[in-house]
Amino acid sequence: MADEKQMDSRDFYLFEKIDYTEFPVLRVGPGPSKIQQGDKMIFVGDKKREEQHAILFSSPINCQNSTGNLTFTYWVYNSARVEVILLEDDGRGGYKMIFDDPAEEKPYVDCGTIQLNTECHAEIPPRDKPFRIGIRAYEISNTDGSFVMIDNILYSSSLCKVGIDLGENFKSTPLETGAVGKPIKSATDLKCDSFDAKCRWRSGGDAMVMWRRSGSVLPNDLLLNATGTTVGPRGGYGVLYVEQGTQKKSLDILRSDPITCQSLTENELSFRFWEFGQIELEACAVDLMLKDIECIPIPRGQSPANVNLTFRKATKNFMITIRVSSLNSDFDNMVIVDDIAYRATLCTDALSAFDIGDSFVSTPMLSLLLNRNVHTSQDLSCDFSKRASGCLWGMLNQEDDATEIAANTWAVGHGPLNDEKLYSLTGTAETPDGEFGVARFETGGNAVLLSEVVRCALNNVHVQFRLWTTGSAKIKVCLVEESSPSLLDCQDASSGDVVVDLPRIRRPFRVAFAAEAEDQGMVLIDDIVVTGQICPPTTAKQFSSKTFRPTADIPDPNVCRLLSCDFHLGHACLYESSQVSNSAMHGVGNGKLNAFLTRTKRVFILESPQFRLNTVARLHFDYKLTGDANLFICNDSGTKELESCFKVEGRQGNDYIELLASDTKVYIISRLSETGKSGSLEFSKIVFTDTSDQAIC
């Protein structure tokens, strides 16, 4: 086109042959005289006496490392002429001819000596600086008219490798993430917006051109040319730079950690991307041998907005890859990926806020608030073993007056739990050990677990515990005044290892775990550890409040008289034999109870009288088993029969069972093993003691 800086005086125009008339051979040449109807050329001409000229500019060539060959067909009329020139930017918005510099090598131009069917040929020397090629029509100066027509322009050359201008401050580093090939536990594990140690995407490896990480800000001009906007990646992102001449097979892939199993009902991969040059992407689901399951092309037009893709065929043992599907290796190319997210229902995902494994069960917590003394902070530690029977934690009694903290019930959970389901609900990889505290909410509500009264907190008192929450459930650690049921000074806690610092408190208080939910959810806590200095209890005063029953450290002697038995009177004292189907016969003599088990009489049950304890106690007994008989001691808490049974592992000797304040009956059960044929139980000397094994009666 014509230049606006007065390097030429005329413009080229598009010329189209619309008839079959041939050019006069001797007057218009040296191009062919016969031109097909509809052929197009470019034309410049005039009838002025003053010499006119026009230049047709090429697009810029940044660098070429070999001699370039330019050919074109041309026609001139009435002494008009054509030449080939080279130009470069003059720094003021225009161009200047390179011929003006004597140090520059000029192109060799041969436009033919025979003025018939002759092409113009020019050889352009190698150059390491940007330049343009110009075809110049000149000496157009005849009042009868003169012109130049040009057609069939061809140029061939080996261009230098010129990089994409990423700005002076652009830096990149090898892509090192947290992906190690371990299967994901949740679809959210594949979220990657910084390409750091938390990212579960990595380089595919074994490639000449590898994915890298950068956090550099890209020039606005570069973004604008690529996407039409100046929106670029934020923070860390993945970048693959492909130099000219690189083949697709040499390129790295970006791959996720494996997905073991997912439902076909719903999945969505989303990410943002930028493509620079002539390069295209695709996202593929591949098996663990990197063989394609299905591939989806990435629509270039959506950049830089999120692209959302769904896989229809991949369900088990697969990975997701983002890779180059095609590129023009004549140029440098680059692709950037950021803000990867994945949404899917994995086979291990929990189906509800309560789905933490088929083995999960919960049983009532056996510990009660009995105003037991708290001598040191360590006394408040609790791992919930034996259904929290040894813990100085409990709940308000249901029959007590309603208060702010009267609530649903805390229970003791038993596993093992499904760690993948628990992770999908809580985002925490660890699971509780053994038994643990659990508060379950079907339709919302609250549940409060309280400690026994602490006289005061002096220095560096900390409450540590492990926490898991599901659904809408959440928990706060609060302080409760001894004389008031109101929750005070609460601190929120979130899933994981929790440490709560208690302030210095000079008056009696309780620690409360206050769980609540708007609808469905669960709170799981385990391994409560309390450290620091607290005030020891005083012996002159016992603490009581209207919402907690008074206690004594010595078990009730009346219970002792109910449960102790030496069988010396020829009967089982206040114990009775429970008559059930296939019940074995028994007898009492010589201070012993004997039961005989056979294939038809496989079980014997001895039931204690009902009792009501005021504190923890022990029930000791002597026993002897023969044959295929086994012995079990079972508790009845009064809320559910035979809540727990403890198998006596030995064959004879002395053993005991701990009785909790919530227990109301004891059952002594002997039965044959599944394949057993016969056996017997010998039982004697039932003795009731405190937890120090001191006799009470």
At 360-380, the pLDDT tens digits run: 888 888 777 777 888 899 999
The yes-or-no verdict on residue 405 having pLDDT over 50 is: no
Give yes or no for a contact between 503 and 459, defined as CB atoms under 8 angstroms apart: no
Q: What is the pTM of this model?
A: 0.49
| Side-chain half-sphere CA neighbours of 218 within 13 A | 29
Per-residue CA distances from 363 to 366, 388, 409, 607 (Å): 9, 11, 11, 22
Q: How far is 209 from 187, CA to CA, in rounded Å?
A: 29
Per-residue CA distances from 695 to 169, 319, 370, 556, 618 (Å): 84, 68, 21, 11, 10
Q: Under the phi-then-psi rule, with left for phi > 0, alpha for psi from -120 to 50, and beta for the rest, what region is 371?
A: left
Give the pLDDT of residue 69: 92
Q: Under the phi-then-psi rule, with left for phi > 0, alpha for psi from -120 to 50, and beta for the rest, what region is 596?
A: beta
β-bridge partners, 321:
255, 284
Give the length of the chain.
Answer: 697
- Residue whose tokens read 């560096």: 460
Give the pLDDT of residue 643: 47
Give the pLDDT of residue 113: 58
pLDDT tens digits for range 185-200: 889 899 999 999 999 9
Which H or E element spans position 642? none
Give the pLDDT of residue 639: 46
Confidence of residue 487 (pLDDT cuts 50, 70, 90): confident
Give yes or no for a contact between 530 and 500, defined as CB atoms under 8 angstroms apart: no
The yes-or-no verdict on residue 389 having pLDDT over 90 is: no
Nearest to 458 by CA among 579, 559, 376: 376
Per-residue CA distances from 655 to 154, 495, 618, 651, 686 (Å): 104, 41, 10, 11, 10
Give yes or no for a contact between 309 and 270, defined as CB atoms under 8 angstroms apart: yes
The yes-or-no verdict on residue 265 having pLDDT over 50 is: yes
The yes-or-no verdict on residue 161 having pLDDT over 70 is: no
Which residue has better confidence, 561 or 318?
Answer: 318
Q: How far is 189 from 24, CA to CA, in rounded Å?
A: 77
Share of the chain above pLDDT 70, in %: 91
Q: How far is 468 from 524, CA to CA, in rounded Å?
A: 5
The bridge status of strand 652-659 relative to strand 592-597 is unpaired
β-bridge partners, 334:
241, 276
Give the pLDDT of residue 103: 64
Long-range contacts of 100-107 (CB under 8 A, 24+ apart): 107/70
Q: How far is 351 from 98, CA to CA, in rounded Å?
A: 75
Give the pLDDT of residue 117: 66
Nearest to 198 by CA among 213, 184, 178, 182: 178
Arithmetic mean of pLDDT, 74-79: 87
Q: Is 653 exposed, middle or buried (0-12, 13-18, 19+ CB in 10 A)?
A: exposed
Lowest mean pLDDT among 177-181, 284-288, 535-539, 667-671: 535-539
DSSP one-letter code for 60: P
Arithmetic mean of pLDDT, 484-509: 85
How would DSSP label each residue in 603-641?
Answer: EEEEEPPP---SS-EEEEEEEEEEETEEEEEEEE-SSST
pLDDT tens digits for range 112-139: 655 666 788 889 888 878 888 999 888 8
Give the gyration radius of the chain's Cα atoms. 45
Give the pLDDT of residue 242: 92
Q: How far is 227 from 207, CA to CA, in rounded Å?
A: 28
Lowest mean pLDDT among 65-69, 179-183, 679-683: 65-69
The yes-or-no verdict on residue 652 having pLDDT over 80 is: yes
The yes-or-no verdict on residue 407 having pLDDT over 70 is: no
Give yes or no for a contact between 58 and 144, defined as CB atoms under 8 angstroms apart: no
| Phi–psi pair at 47, nearest 5 degrees | -115, 15
Nearest to 515 by CA among 443, 428, 442, 439: 439
Q: Is 605 exposed, middle or buried (0-12, 13-18, 19+ CB in 10 A)?
A: buried
Average pLDDT value over all residues in the chain: 85
Give yes or no for a contact between 421 and 349, defined as CB atoms under 8 angstroms apart: yes
Arithmetic mean of pLDDT, 259-265: 86
Q: How far is 487 from 505, CA to CA, in rounded Å?
A: 15
Arithmetic mean of pLDDT, 461-490: 87
Give the pLDDT of residue 568: 86
Q: How far is 366 from 248, CA to CA, in rounded Å?
A: 67
- Residue whose tokens read 């043992």: 317
HEC string of 524-564 equals EEEEEEEEEEECCCCCCCCCCECCECCCCCCCCHHHHHHHC
Q: How far is 578 from 605, CA to CA, in rounded Å?
A: 5
β-bridge partners, 689:
618, 695
Task: Centre a 10 Å sphere on the Cβ of residue 201 and count the other Cβ atoms it contains.
Answer: 26
- Residue whose tokens read 């990926």: 337
Q: Which of 123-132, 205-214, 348-357 has the highest mean pLDDT?
A: 205-214
DSSP one-letter code for 10: S
